[in-house]
Structure formats: structure tokens, C-alpha cells
Amino acid sequence: MTRTIPVNQNLVEMEYAVRGAIPRRAIEMQRTGRTIYACNLGNPQALGQKPITFYRQVLTLLEAAENIDRERSLARVAAANHQLFNESGVEPLSNYIIDYSANFLEQCRTGMGAYTESSGPLFIRAAIARFINRRDGDSIAADPEQIFLTDGASDAAKRILELLITGPQDGVMIPIPQYPLYSATVKRCGGAQVNYYPDEDSDWALTPEILGEAYRKATADGVHVKCIVAINPGNPTGAILDKPSIDGVVHFAEQHGLAIIADEVYQNNLYGGTFISMASAVGAREIPLFSLHSISKGFAGECGHRGGYMELRHMPQVEGTGMNLAELILKQASVSLCSNTVGQAIIYMLVNPPEKDSAPYGVYQEEKNAVLGELEAKAALIKESFKQMEGMECFGRTGAMYLFPRLNTLPSGSNDFDYCMALLEETGICTVNGAGFGQLPGTKHMRIAFLPPRETVTGFLPGWIRFHNRYVHRPQI
Ligand SMILES: Cc1ncc(COP(=O)(O)O)c(C=O)c1O
């Protein structure tokens, strides 16, 4: 007889569509030799994006510190024997890279293989604080003691929600559509998901009415709303929030005594607007704020190395204790000992890039601009193609790595899942249907991640346009 075991039901009920039925079918098709265009995941290096050379050169020395002396000697020999080195085609590491790496190791003292402080080494947190101050202006300076390094933003979101959700009555406001990390984590922590619906036709803007309506409904159902998640730029919408929307979230949170979780992992992926951080909008107001950043996105695309940080502002006292919430977060971090050190090193490099006029600066800038330029070009190409697809509409000032068009004219009896599955079967283009992220009832969408190389995108777009215009005219399914 097969044994059964009761487990945490929240995990059984948790869903994560980004790795759901459509990508599973794509894997099956790939096994039979079909070409698949993976437009379902925001995983840049899996789709050919090259790592930033500066990051990897420093990482090699951090992991093999004994090579630092060898590289120094090599650099000296190279400087003295220019011609020989030019002819050999070997390029020694620059002194800047060597010094940068040595300096990192000197500051962290215990090397890459040791546990670090639970919140992450102070010098990295201080570098993050300087980055935030450069980004936002330092009228309200970031405090390194309120910064925690994490194994990516997913880890941060999990930690925050685990703390805030005390039971099934505790509500978390989530934009719909949303990146399913949030619905899944609220579920896993046993809380209540409270949906709010950004206005798609106004480029996914937020208004006091939208937020107020969601809050009222939840409260009427007995839910105690505790915090609001804002994802900017958005996943899956790709939309960049405008100033009135951001100020609206801040005002709303203040009015209702909510904490804000600002997921800002795409803050460097901007192709049609400017990024306004939630921290700058909150300013001195006493609103508890958790801001999340990551090495996975932007131009770094270092998803597999799992790095990121959360910045806390205006943390309240914990009920029934003399403790500030930041202290509890430190205790929580201590239980996992520390985040991984490679992720820590990359977030350090992300916020502390090579200085202007340093040897690696030129290549670094070139690589960064190339990645962001390609993303922008691919987004524009795909958006342009939508104009040739009947009933396809796409809103939002483009950011992140996604477009989330609305499928206005699907044949009756067919939904967005059917569309995306048929698109996969007929063209090999693997996307995620809108329902996987949640969508306004009655609407149908799909998300396309524009990460495959530009020539691949250019190659599959005509087939998609043909597929689409045939599909929408199919007789009732
Ligand atoms: C909005 C958003 N937040 C967080 C994450 C996860 O980031 P990380 O790799 O840092 O855990 C993703 C990944 O796609 C995302 O889209």
C-alpha cells in the first residue's frame, strides 16, 4: 500500500504559472527535436546574454585569491613587454581589476567560503547605501544598518511576507496582473491575497479609486489589510509607473497605515520612461517601506547567482515586544546564517561599478549599453508587430523584459491558455498566458519575455503574425 503523508496544504495549493503547463509542453516538444523560442522566462543568460566581463573577472580572483599575486606579476611583465604580449594575444587583467578584487577581499576579511554577517558585510551595505543616495539624492540618506543582503528578491519577498502575515485574516494587496511570486508567497504564508487592478488603458496607472475599492472590498470581507506590493517596472506588464501612481500608493499606504513592498528589480530596464523609486516618494513620511533589488535583471542578468538586497525604512515596533521590526528581521536572517557570498559580491559590483576612466570602464559601458539597447530594440520590434495582429493591444511605457498585450478578439470558446498553447504548437514560440498572472475578469492576455537574440525575434515574428490572424478567425472552438 502506498503511504500518504499530510503536508502543509498551503504549499499544495500554491501555483506558479511561469513554469506551468505551457513551458512543460515546450520541453516535451524540444525533446522531439522541435525548435522552441523561449519567450516565457526572464532568465537572460539562459537565452544567450553574455555576463558582464568586469563581474566575472573580479569573481575569478575573489574565488581564487591565490591568483591575485600571479595576476599582479603578469600585469607587470605585460607592462614591460608590451610587444610580446600584443603578439601573444593574451590580455592580462588590468591593475584596476586586481586592486578592486584585493580590496574587496581585504574588506570582507574572511574570504568567499566563510559565513558573513547575517545582514551581509557592512562595506557592501555601505556601498548599497551610497548607490541609493546617488540614485535618489541624499536628502533622506539610506542607512547601511537598514540594508539586508538576500539570495535574490524572491528570498526578500518571502522573508517580509513571512513576518507580516500572522494568519488567514492578514491581507496583502497585490497588483493584478502580478509576478506570481507574490500570490504564491501569500498562499504559502497562509495570508489573504487582496487584488487591485491597475488601469490597463491608462498605461497601467494607479488611482486612489482603484486602490480604495480593493481595500474596501477586502475590509468588508473581514480581511485586515497590512501591506501593499508595488512592482515597478512591472512584471508581467513591463509598465513603468508614473509619478501620480507612485505618489498615490504612498498616500494610500499612509492613509490606511499600510507597509509598502516596492519590488524594483527592473529599475535599470527602462525603454520608455523614468524610474522613480518608492523610497524617494515616501521621503520622511513614517510609512514602513521594504525596497527590493536584485542582480538577476537589469543588464547583469545574473539570475543563477542569487543576489539582491532589501532596504528597510521607517520600521515600526513589534507588538508585545520592545523590539523594532528591523531587529526581528536580523534575527530572521541569522537563522539562515547569511546570503551566498557570490551573490553578495555581484550586488557589490552592481552598485559599485568601475570608475570612469578606469581600464575596465569602456568595455563595461559597452556591454551594459549593448544589453539594454538590444532589449529596447526587441521590445520595439515586437510592439510594432502587434499592430499587424488583429485585436492585439499593448499598453504601458515599456520597461522590464516583458510585453503583456491584450487579446481582444479570440474566437469564442477559446481563452488565452488555448491561444498560447496553439502558438507554441504551431510556431514553437513559448509564452505565458495572462491567466497565469491574474487579469481583470473578462480580459485575455499573454506575456512575452523579449530575451531571445534579436535575429531570433526577427525570425519568428512573421510566423506569429500569420498564426495570430488565422487563429482569431478560426470557427468557434
Ligand atoms: C518582479 C519580480 N520580482 C522578483 C523576481 C525574482 O528575482 P530574483 O531572481 O532576484 O529572486 C522576479 C523574477 O522574474 C520578478 O520578475
Q: Give the pLDDT confidence score for residue 288 in this predicted structure.
A: 97
Residues 215 and 304 reside in one and the same domain: yes
Mean pLDDT of 281-293: 96
Crossing angle for the helix pair 243-256 and 208-220, to the nearest 10 degrees: 30
User: Kind of pairing, strands 289-294 and 308-313?
Assistant: antiparallel
Give the whole-number percent of the chain exceeding pLDDT 90.
Answer: 81
For residue 174, the CA-to-ligand 1 centroid distance in Å is 15
Rounded to 10°, the helix 454-471/361-386 angle is: 10
**Domain check: are 40 and 59 in the same one?**
no
Reported confidence tier of residue 333, pLDDT bands at 50, 70, 90: confident
Find the range with the poorest average confidence among 11-25, 63-77, 304-318, 431-445: 11-25
pLDDT score at 79:
80
Contact 120, 147 (CB under 8 A): yes
Claim to verify: residue 65 and residue 170 sit in the same structural domain: no
What's the per-residue H, E or C state across the chain? CCCCCCCCHHHHHCCCHHHCHHHHHHHHHHHCCCCCEECCCCCHHHHCCCCCHHHHHHHHHHHCCCHHHHHHHHHHHHHHCHHHHHHHCCCCCCHHHHHHHHHHHHHHCCCCCCCCCCCCCHHHHHHHHHHHHHHHCHHHCCCHHHEEEECHHHHHHHHHHHHHCCCCCEEEEEECCCCCHHHHHHHHCCCEEEEECCEHHHCCECCHHHHHHHHHHHHHCCCEEEEEEEECCCCCCCECCCHHHHHHHHHHHHHHCCEEEEECCCCCCECCCCCCCHHHHHCCCCCCEEEEEECCCCCCCCHHHCCEEEEEECCCECCCCCCEHHHHHHHHHHHCCCCCHHHHHHHHHHHCCCCCCCCCHHHHHHHHHHHHHHHHHHHHHHHHHHCCCCCEECCCCEECCEECCEECCCCCCCCHHHHHHHHHHHHCEECEEHHHCCCCCCCCEEEEECCCCHHHHHHHHHHHHHHHHHHCCCCCC
Q: CA–CA separation, 289 vs 253, rounded Å? A: 10
Q: Say if residues 69 and 316 touch (Cβ distance below 8 Å).
A: no
Choose one of 182, 265, 269, 306 to mutate for the ligand 1 pocket test, by most ligand atoms within 8 angstroms of C-beta: 265
Is pLDDT above 80 for 161?
A: yes
Within-domain flag for 358: no
Least confident of 71-75, 231-235, 239-243, 402-406: 71-75
- Per-residue model confidence (pLDDT) at position 87: 76
| Residue 138 confidence class, pLDDT cut points 50, 70, 90 | low
- Write the pLDDT tens digit of every residue in 169-209: 999 999 999 998 999 999 999 999 999 999 999 999 999 99
Q: Does residue 33 register a pLDDT over 70?
A: yes
Q: Is residue 403 part of a domain?
A: yes
> Is the distance from the beta carbon of residue 400 to the nearest atom of ligand 1 less than 6 Å?
no
**Looking at residue 91, what is its pLDDT?**
80
Measured CA to CA, the distance from residue 288 to residue 258 in angstroms comes to 7
The average pLDDT across 39-47 equals: 92
Please state the rounded mean pLDDT for residues 27-52. Answer: 94
Bridge-partner residues for 170, per DSSP? Answer: 224
Q: Is residue 235 in contact with ligand 1, taking CB distance under 6 Å?
A: yes
Co-location of 41 and 17 in the same domain: yes
Residue 377 and residue 240 in one domain: no
Closest CA to 313 of 198, 457, 146, 171: 146
The residue to mutate among 16, 182, 269, 297, having the most atoms of ligand 1 within 8 angstroms of its beta carbon, is 297
At residue 4, the pLDDT reads 81
Q: How confident is the model at residue 18 (pLDDT cuts 50, 70, 90)?
A: low
237 within ligand 1 shell (Cβ under 6 A): no
The pTM of the full predicted model, rounded to 2 decimals, is 0.93
- Residue 461 predicted with pLDDT over 80: yes
309 and 325, same domain (yes or no): yes
81-130 confidence digits (pLDDT tens): 877 777 777 788 889 999 999 999 999 989 899 999 999 999 999 999 99
Number of domains forming the structure of the chain: 3
Instruction: Examine the fold and report which residue of 351, 384, 411 is the final residue of a domain before the chain moves on.
Output: 351
Based on the domain organization, do 407 and 322 belong to the same domain? no
237 lies in a domain? yes
Instruction: Identify whether the C-beta of residue 11 lies closer than 8 Å to the C-beta of residue 405.
Output: no
Task: Kindly state the average pLDDT of the residues 15-27.
Answer: 81
The answer to whether position 476 is within a domain reads: no
In a shared domain, residues 309 and 270: yes
Q: Residue 270 — very low, low, confident or very high, per pLDDT cuts 50/70/90?
A: very high
CA 175 to chain centre: 15
Q: Looking at residue 17, what is its pLDDT? A: 61
Residues 458 and 432 in one domain: yes
Confidence of residue 3 (pLDDT cuts 50, 70, 90): confident
Reply yes or no on whether the pLDDT at 361 is more than 80.
Answer: yes
Angle at 266 between CA 56 and CA 263, to 5 degrees: 115
Which of the listed residues 81, 109, 137 is the one where a domain comes to its end?
Answer: 109
Nearest to 270 by CA among 228, 238, 312: 238
Looking at per-residue confidence, does 476 or 63 come out higher?
63
Q: Does the beta carbon of 178 sit less than 6 angstroms from any atom of ligand 1? A: no
Residue 413 clears pLDDT 90, i.e. is over it:
no
- Kindly state the average pLDDT of the residues 420-449: 94
Ligand 1 midpoint to CA 301 (Å): 11
- Distant-in-sequence, close-in-space partners of 224: CB < 8 Å, separation ≥ 6: 169, 170, 171
181 lines ligand 1 (CB under 6 A): yes
CATH of the domain at 298: 3.40.640.10
Amino acid letter, residue 151? D
In a domain, 359, yes or no: no
Task: Annotate 293-309 with b (16+ C-beta within 10 A) or e (fewer).
Answer: bbbbbbbbbbbebbbbb
Range 281-289 average pLDDT? 95
What does the pLDDT read at residue 193? 96
User: The domain containing residue 278 runs over which residues?
Assistant: 122-351
In a domain, 96, yes or no: yes
| Same domain as 311, residue 170 | yes
How high is the mean pLDDT of the chain?
Answer: 93
pLDDT (0 to 100) of residue 127: 98
Mean pLDDT of 408-419: 92
Question: Given pLDDT bands bounded at 50, 70 and 90, which one contains residue 141?
Answer: very high
> Does ligand 1 lie within 6 Å of residue 308's CB atom?
yes
**Positive or negative: CA dihedral 220, 223, 224, 229:** negative
Per-residue pLDDT tens over the stretch 334-349: 888 999 999 999 999 9
Q: 247 pLDDT exceeds 70?
A: yes
Nine-digit cell string for 32: 522531439
Q: Which of 213, 204, 251, 253 is nearest to 229 (CA)?
A: 253
Residue 177 lies in a domain: yes
Of the residues 62, 81, 109, which one is the last residue of a structural domain?
A: 109
Both 157 and 285 in one domain: the answer is: yes
pLDDT over 80 at 308, yes or no: yes
Same domain? For 36 and 145 the reply is no
* Residue 99 maps to a domain: yes
On whether the CB atoms of residues 476 and 412 are closer than 8 A, the answer is yes
Q: Which segment of 76-80, 181-185, 201-205, 247-251 scores lowest on mean pLDDT? A: 76-80
Distance 447 CA to ligand 1 centre (A): 15
pLDDT of residue 144: 97
Of 77-86, 243-252, 290-299, 326-335, least confident by mean pLDDT is 77-86
pLDDT-based confidence at 75, cuts 50/70/90? Answer: confident
What is the distance between the alpha carbons of residues 153 and 162, in angstroms, rounded to a whole number?
Answer: 14
Sequence length of the chain is 477
Work out the percent of the chain whose per-residue pLDDT is above 70.
99
Provide the CATH number for the domain around residue 14: 3.90.1150.10
142: pLDDT confidence band, cut at 50, 70 and 90? very high
Beta 289-294 vs 259-263: how paired, if at all?
Answer: parallel
